[in-house]
Amino acid sequence: MPTKKKAQIGMDEKIVSNSELLALLEERETLKEGASRFRAKDKEAKDAILKLDEEPPYRIGGFLITKKNHNGRHVEFDINSGTTIKIDKAEE
């Protein structure tokens, strides 16, 4: 069950006026749905490719399908300090 968005962040909530940032955030919000629909269809298409008896590489319509297998491996890396910014849409 999704969490309900808070109408107010807290007692010290500030309202910022910045038309350029607001335009960016609104454009970002409209693109977000398209990106999630793409990821869902991409996964669905790749799952369907894996179920076919035909082994890639092959062409289907205007699409070239290839497959590359990767061996599992251990990876170590540093995580640098930084800032995480989370952007949610407020409930209207």
Tens of pLDDT, residue by residue, the chain (92 residues): 455 555 656 677 788 899 999 999 899 888 988 999 999 999 999 999 989 888 888 888 888 888 888 888 888 988 888 887 776 777 65
Q: Where are the alpha helices (DSSP H) in the chain?
A: 19-51
pTM for the complete prediction?
0.60
Domain ranges of the chain: 19-65
Integer Cα distance of 31 and 36 in angstroms: 9
pLDDT at 1: 45
Alpha carbon of residue 61 to chain centroid: 27
